[in-house]
Structure 1
Amino acid sequence: MVFPGELEMLVRYHHLWELKEELQTAELDEELFSELLCHGIRRDPEGSACRVLLDGKRKLSLDTRSGKRRRTALHTAALKGATGAASLLLEARATVDVLDGDCRTPLMLAAHCGSESCISLLLTRQAQVDRQDAEGRTALHWSSQQLPCLHQLLEARADVSALDLDQRSALFFAQGPGESADCAKALVEAQAEVNAADRCGQTPLFKALQARDDAKVALLLFHGAEVNQKDEFHQTPLFFAAASNQLPQCRQLLDAKAYLSHDVAGRSPVSVAKGQGHTELEKFLCMHGRKSRQQIAAKASAKAPGPAGKRPIRRTGQQTTGQQVKPGCKEVLASTLRGQPEPERKRYDLVFCDEKGIELDMDSTEYQEHLAELLKKVGWADAWSHTNVESTLGG
């Protein structure tokens, strides 16, 4: 009688002649046979032990899953890049798209480990390119940081717009740290959507900033990444750049017309940089904000004044005829008394509408122009600094 442990030792130590003799009398169940195949593939990726096992027990299934991850021998071969063993298993009629415990196929594992030869082999056996695992990810997601494998899957017409359960595309995963921008470039050139947002409202640009990668940020901005995209907390990419003290990335975002907006907690990129102790970045953002307000004020003063498109200041909580104060409208400091030496500062809602009576978004250029002109009229245009805004908003 042959014990399973003895067969495992023969496979591990590559005693193939003894293994061949023992297999003639050994009685194996399919799970033990699968485990022996996996041991043989790990020991010899070329498949010598695998060949002996297949010759000795051809009638046993090759799709039996074993181990903690419930993987088959073909999964192990794909994960180890064992093309020789994988070829033997496929010739012995192993299922090419067999699933492991995470609903992943051998193609996904080969893409993850960067085995070009295994991917070529599996694709020639008609492996499904866009099959999704338990997390909704395809082989393209798993190859998003393996450039040669990525090219193989794109040539096989893998869907670049496929999203996982978190609504993330392969381009999102291509922004990971430590990788070049070549993978992201290949996906963008394959028409991947650069502004596809996940469940949290974040786009690949957010991920690139978290990775602190200038090349990836520049690539996404060049291809039209939205710099004022807001996540679930109303934070834009500029918040992430400010939090991690990325001055070059902040320059890139501001050059692309990023706004110094506020999140749901009333914080701005300036207050975030200040809170993290990034003094140089804080000064840079303040200077940019001051320059932008001066440009807006100059542009507004050059325009002919007109009644259309403007409404007066109204206090928070009060109502005007036929109108209700918009919930969540940002509150700022302003003075209604012109010319007083030390006017009392109070809290107000600033509401401006277009010619059709529709309220303007406070981050829009038109809103900022109305604000600058109003402040100039009440004599506070010069005193309207970013510091005043931050102290009002609790930044």
Structure 2
Amino acid sequence: MKKFFGFRTAKVQSSSTFDIELMNDLRASVHKEEVTETQPRYNIRVKELKKIHKVAVMDNIVKMQRLLLRGQDLNKRDKRKRTPLHLACTIGHADMVDFLVGRKCKLDLYDGDCRTPLMKAVQYQEEACVTTLLEHGANPHLTDKFGNTALHYAVAGESMSIVEKLILYHANIEARNKFEFTPFLLAVNENNHEMVELLIRKKADVHVVDKFKRTALMLAAPSKSPDIVRLLLQQGVNTSSRDERGWTAGDYALFSGFDG
């Protein structure tokens, strides 16, 4: 896993453990205990699910219709505060998602991990579900506990098409999470040249700095990515800017030579 935000030298560690926590959260790592034979994406325990959630997981629209006719709450929560829409989006049941939003379910409820259905669909790159949610008015500006938007998740997941779709639906390209990373800074930090190019074409601010006053060039220098460094220089970024410790991008490049 890539180091997030900073780099290490024999003498200096530039970031703290919350950097790693944030990146782990964005990347949606799947732990063994969260994997079942039938659904590898959510920790699905049948005993925790209400009947309506089970039907959403099974992708059985006929049974869902029957439950709604009997007065079942379309937005019912399970023990983890997941709605049927959360489950359908995470698993990728596009037809069920289409059915639920067509019945006017609430689109922007948070689950127990402070994520919306849109965030879950983006996190697992279920583009058909993402499209349906956006077309029906899901809010791309909402944030998780770290301040990440759906666009942050799309950049972290390296999904170019979903990034473009979110921007098309007016996602804030300059949204900052709690550590003041914009999607652009995240793409630079992740050493994703194509994503950086895309966000520049979409008019992302290349001069933005993070919580520690680090520029995109500072983040790019330790990654030894000449293509990204060259691209940033072409955009006229300031090579003499200093972070909160007084370091320049040149200092970052120098210290990265001692990366352990």
- Normalised-by-shorter TM-score class: 0.7 to 0.9
SS at match of 2:109: coil
Determine the structure 1 residue equivalent to 2:27: none
* Amino acid corresponding to residue 127 of structure 2 in structure 1: L
**Mapped contact 2:46–2:54 kept (Cα < 8 A):** no
Deviation track 1:220-272 (CA, whole Å, cap 9, x = no partner) reads 11122122222121112222222222221122222222222222222222222
The number of equivalent residue pairs is 214
Deviation track 1:188-246 (CA, whole Å, cap 9, x = no partner) reads 11111111111111101122224332222112111221222221211122222222222
Determine the structure 2 residue equivalent to 1:138: 116
Aligned partners of 1:77, 1:242: CA distance in 2, in Å? 50
* Amino acid corresponding to residue 223 of structure 1 in structure 2: K
SS at match of 1:148: helix
Alignment match of 2:217 (pick from 238, 259, 269): 238
**Mapped contact 1:69–1:101 kept (Cα < 8 A):** no
SS at match of 1:174: helix
Change (3 A) 1:201 1:85: same
1:147 paired with 2:133, answer no
In the TM superposition, what are the counterparts of 1:313-352 in structure 2 within 5 Å?
none
SS at match of 1:152: helix
Determine the structure 2 residue equivalent to 1:340: none
In the TM superposition, what are the counterparts of 1:52-71 in structure 2 within 5 Å?
67=45, 70-71=48-49
Deviation track 1:127-185 (CA, whole Å, cap 9, x = no partner) reads 101222344432221122322111101110111222233222111111124x4300000
Q: CA deviation at 1:83?
A: 4.1
Aligned partners of 1:231, 1:68: CA distance in 2, in Å? 42
In the TM superposition, what are the counterparts of 1:1-395 in structure 2 within 5 Å?
67=45, 70-144=48-122, 145-177=125-157, 179-260=158-239, 261-277=241-257
TM-score using structure 2 length:
0.73
Aligned partners of 1:152, 1:230: CA distance in 2, in Å? 34
**Mapped contact 1:81–1:113 kept (Cα < 8 A):** no
Aligned partners of 1:70, 1:107: CA distance in 2, in Å? 16
SS at match of 2:118: helix
Which fold has the larger relative contact order, with Cα–Cα distance below 8 Å and residues 6 or more apart in sequence? Answer: 2
Q: Which runs of 5+ in 2 are unaligned?
A: 1-37
Q: CA deviation at 1:68?
A: 8.7
Deviation track 1:63-99 (CA, whole Å, cap 9, x = no partner) reads xxx9598332332443454545544544444321111
CA RMSD of aligned residues (A): 2.6
Aligned partners of 2:230, 2:57: CA distance in 1, in Å? 42
Aligned partners of 1:76, 1:237: CA distance in 2, in Å? 45
**Mapped contact 1:141–1:173 kept (Cα < 8 A):** yes
Change (3 A) 1:91 1:157: same
Change (3 A) 1:180 1:163: closer
SS at match of 1:159: coil
**Mapped contact 1:69–1:100 kept (Cα < 8 A):** no
Change (3 A) 1:237 1:72: farther
Identity %: 27
Determine the structure 1 residue equivalent to 2:23: none
**Mapped contact 1:80–1:113 kept (Cα < 8 A):** no
* Amino acid corresponding to residue 138 of structure 1 in structure 2: T
Aligned partners of 2:68, 2:231: CA distance in 1, in Å? 51
Q: Which runs of 5+ in 1 are unaligned?
A: 1-41, 44-65, 279-395
**Mapped contact 2:82–2:111 kept (Cα < 8 A):** yes
Aligned partners of 1:101, 1:249: CA distance in 2, in Å? 45
TM-score using structure 1 length:
0.49
Aligned partners of 1:208, 1:156: CA distance in 2, in Å? 28
Larger radius of gyration: 1
Aligned partners of 2:67, 2:119: CA distance in 1, in Å? 26
**Mapped contact 2:75–2:83 kept (Cα < 8 A):** yes
* Amino acid corresponding to residue 116 of structure 1 in structure 2: A
Aligned partners of 1:98, 1:170: CA distance in 2, in Å? 23
Change (3 A) 1:74 1:251: farther
